[in-house]
Amino acid sequence: MSETFPDAAPSQPATVTVLDHPLVQHKLTRLRQRDTSTAGFRRLTRELSLLMAYEATRDLKLEPVEIETPLEPTTGMLLSGKKLCFVSVLRAGNGILDGMLDLVPAARVGHIGLYRDPATLEPVEYYMKLPDDLSERLCIVVDPMLATGHSAVAAVSKLKQQGARQITFVCMLCVPEGLATFQAAHPDVRIVTAAVDRGLDDHGYIRPGLGDAGDRLFGTK
C-alpha cells in the first residue's frame, strides 16, 4: 500500500507517493540504525529499492499477447513498446539502481554525476551518459536522498533537455524543503519515497535521516 499526496498546483498534478508497506518500513528502519554494517546497509538498500520499483513502474503500459500454457491457449499481458530507463544520480544512486535492475534486468541505464558544493549546497555536474531514446521510455531517476532538492532538480532538468517526457523520481528519504524545491521546478514529475522526514539541519543533512547514504553504501567517510 502507499499514501499519495496530490500536488497543489492546478496544472500538471504531480504526486508524492509515500510507501507504507510493512516490509518497506522495516527495511528503512534497519537502514537508519547507526550500527548497521556496510554490507548490511548495501543489502538492505538493494532489497528496499526492489520493493520501491513495484510502485515506480506502476504506469508501464501493457499489451495483450496470445500464448500457450501447458494446458491450453490463453491471452496474457506483456510490457508494450520501449519501456524503461533507470537513471542513477552518482554515486549513491547506484545502491538503488542495483535492486531495480534485479527486477527489470533489460532496462536501459543512464548515469548523471553530481556532487553538492559544501559551501553553497548547489549541485556541480562532473559526468553524464544517457541512452539516446529517452523520449520513448519511462525514465526512473534514483537517488537515496531528496534533501535540499537542488541535485534532483538538476538531474531531471538534464533529462528533459535530452528529450525525456515521462519521469519518476525515486528516493528512500525526503524532507518538506526538498519536496518544495523539486515540485516548484518539476511539477509534472512523480516522486516515490519511503518516508518524509522532519527537515534539514544547518549543514543540509536530513534529520533524523540515516547519515550519508553514499558513505554508508561504500564504506567511505
Beta-bridge partners for 76: 65
Contact 61, 79 (CB under 8 A): yes
Q: Is 37 annotated as a binding residue?
A: no
What the block records as the C-alpha cell of 164 is: 525525456
List active site positions.
116, 120, 212, 215
CA 47 to chain centre: 14
Q: Is 143 annotated as a binding residue?
A: yes
Q: Is 145 annotated as a binding residue?
A: yes
Q: Is 206 annotated as a binding residue?
A: yes
Beta-bridge partners for 3: 18
Q: Is 148 annotated as a binding residue?
A: yes
Q: Please, is 74 exposed, middle or buried when counting C-beta atoms within 10 Å of its C-beta (0-12, 13-18, 19+)?
A: exposed
Q: Is 150 annotated as a binding residue?
A: yes
**CA-derived radius of gyration, the chain:** 18
Q: Is 91 annotated as a binding residue?
A: yes
Q: Is 93 annotated as a binding residue?
A: no
Q: Is 213 annotated as a binding residue?
A: yes
Q: Is 144 annotated as a binding residue?
A: yes
Q: Is 188 annotated as a binding residue?
A: no
Phi-psi region of 21 (alpha: psi -120 to 50; beta: other; left: phi over 0): beta
List CB contacts of 10: < 8 A, sequence separation 6 or more: none
Please state, in angstroms and rounded to a whole number, the distance separating the CA atoms of residues 159 and 206: 25
Going by the annotation, the residues of the binding site for uracil are 206, 211-213
Going by the annotation, the residues of the binding site for 5-phospho-alpha-D-ribose 1-diphosphate are 91, 116, 143-151, 212
Going by the annotation, the residues of the binding site are 91, 116, 143-151, 206, 211-213
